[in-house]
Every structure is written in structure tokens, then in C-alpha cells.
Amino acid sequence: MLGGIRVGKLVGIPFFINPSWFLVFGLVTYSLASGQLPLAVPGRQEWVYWLLGALTALLFFGSLVAHEVGHSVVSKAYGIPVRSITLHLFGGVAQLGREVRRAREEFWIALAGPAVSLALGALFWGGRHLLRDAAPTLGTGLEIVAVLNVGVVIFNMVPGFPLDGGRVLRAVVWGISGNYRKSTRVAATGGRLIGLLFIVAGLYLALAQNDLSSLWLALVGWFLINIARQSYAQAVVQDTLQKTPVSQVMVKLLTVPSHLTLDELFAGYISTTGWQYYLVEKDGQPVGLLTTLALARVPRPLWPVTPLLAAMSPLESVPQVSIASSAVDALYRIEESHAEMLLVVDNGSAAGVVTRDRLFNLSMRATAA
């Protein structure tokens, strides 16, 4: 659901519109222009309803973006990077660069979005009263946006993950129990139950009341159930990585002298030990990192004349992580640096490497457990 057309930046955060948004924008505009607005302000020309419907829809979706900006600003205040804000079929989403690490972070980040929506609801309601006599048609549009913003607050504060209310619930349970995984399980269970209620209600209204538009409610329920399930699986991975020190997933390095050629390294080390990661030393000092993958990039006939210094990665160019860090810290560092591996450092000395593949395998084992 993430990604789409990049349209710029908001408070320094890349902003995207998913193609699915255009469908829901058209549906909302049509619903307003053909139904709600003619009933609220009769007697206007048809183009007025369509123009006001589009403007009302834009204001509403702009409010959803502002909702996500609220989450994002508080996230950044806590030092949590925000990769993007995306407007999509079901509203908006801010993609954080990492998960929260404390219950109070979760609590205030979750409340920031509804607080913005509530403030916007009050702002548009005030605008409606100011324009009630001078421009009643526009005032009606503002009234609709105000009511929709309040509806967003009510819906989002339902205590089920991934809604904001579910995040508040997770923060409260997390703060009381100190258990991140348990708190996520509680909030995700709430999300699945609420999603199931939405599906049942949507199907009932569609079949018993012949209201096919209610199938949208069932679709939202299905979406909530799936996201709640994925969120708990992600929390299990997060918890496992957080509790696993880098030292348990790193691979130790074999030290080799820099005067060797690739052919000598292969004959004297790789073919006999099967080792893949080497620390290259020159004059007793580590200068680079060499992997068997680097050898594969050099044509085999050139191995006898290619020194390790020519094929290695200089040590200062390899992203690092402290051996005191957790596996989740290493994962975030790898994502930030777009690297395939990190050099694990212990008191300034190279202790090993941790690779993206090893972190991925640990995540898969956590999910399967």
C-alpha cells in the first residue's frame, strides 16, 4: 500500500500519492456532488455541486495528510526518522524509519494525529459559522469536512491495532507490563475483533438491507484484520531482534596480510577453511575488509596479479555498529546505510561482520517460532 507518485515534501518528509487514492477521491466527490450537497443546499447549478464536492474532498484528504504530519512531527521530536507520508485508498500513513522503543513515545505519537484532526474539525466548524450567511454553499462544505474530521478521530481512537486507539492501548499495556510483545498481542487482538465486527456489519447491511455500499465497511474490516496480524508478526521480530545482541549474529573475521594476491588468498585460506570474511592488515594495522563476493567480481585470470589491497573495501568505508548493540540496531543501521553488511567494532577494534542475510534469517526464525 506504500509508495506511489512522489509529489513533494511535507516538513522535510517525502510525500507520495498512491494511485488507489484517485479512485476513492473520485468516489467521494461523486457521492458529495450527487447526493449530500444537493440535499443540504438545494437549487444550485450542477457544476457548483461538482466543484464544491471536489473542494470538500480535497480539504478532507488534506486533513488526513495533516493527521499523518502530526504523527510524524512528534516521531521526529523523539528522534525517530520518518521515511515517507503516503495518501492511499484507506486514508494516509506515515512510514517510520524504526519502531518506537518506549511506551511513552508510542502514546504521544499515537495521540498526535487525532489531536490534529480534532483541531481541524474545530477550525472548519468555525469557518462554517463565519460563512453561514455570506456563502452558505461553501459553509456547508466546511461543515462536512468538520464532521468528517471528528469522524476520523472517533474511528481512529477505536482500541484496536493498527488504529491510533490501538496504539494508545498498546502504549498503556506496555507501560504497565513492560512487555512489548504482550502489549502488541493485546492491541492486535483488539484490531482483529473490530475488523471482524466490521465485516459482519458490512455483509449484514449489504444482504439484509440491500445496501451494497456497506461492502466498503467489510473491506475496511478485512484490511484491519490483515494489518493487525502483520503488526503482531512484526512485533515478534522486533522483540526477538531487540533481545539478540549483535555478538550472537555476527561472523568473526580471519586476519590476512595485505601482500597476498587473490589467488594466494583462495589457495591458502578460502579453499581450505571455507571462510568468507577477511580483515586485511598492512604493517600490523587493519586497513580493509574482503569477502569472497569481492573475489567473484574479479575475473579469475586476474587473481594471480591482483593484490588484496586492490579488491578490498577500505575499513573507513564500511558502516559500523558497536558489539554492545542489539540486532535491531544493526538492522536499522543497515537500512540507513543501504549496505549489505556492517563491521562490528569492540573497543575500536574489528570483531566481525553482521550481514543483512543473517539478520533476515533471524527474522524468519522469529516469525516461524
Q: Which residues pair with 290 in a beta bridge?
A: 278
Q: In what order do the strands lie in the sheet with 320-322?
A: 320-322, 341-346, 349-355
The DSSP result for 48-62, as a single string, is: HHHHHHHHHHHHHHH
Backbone angles phi, psi at 136, to 5 degrees: -60, -30
Integer Cα distance of 11 and 276 in angstroms: 44
Phi/psi region, residue 8 (left: phi>0; alpha: psi -120 to 50; beta: rest), is: left
Coil/strand/helix, residue 339: coil
For residue 316, indicate whether it is catalytic.
Answer: no
Integer Cα distance of 58 and 287 in angstroms: 57
Specify whether the CB–CB gap between 292 and 273 falls below 8 A. Answer: no
Task: Identify the active-site residue in 46, 68, 143, 264.
Answer: 68
Integer Cα distance of 365 and 359 in angstroms: 10
Coil/strand/helix, residue 349: strand
Q: Which residues pair with 278 in a beta bridge?
A: 254, 290
The kind and range of the H/E element at 124 are helix 103-131
Residue showing cell 500500500: 1
Integer Cα distance of 89 and 92 in angstroms: 8
Specify whether the CB–CB gap between 118 and 150 falls below 8 A. Answer: yes
- The residues annotated as belonging to the active site are 68
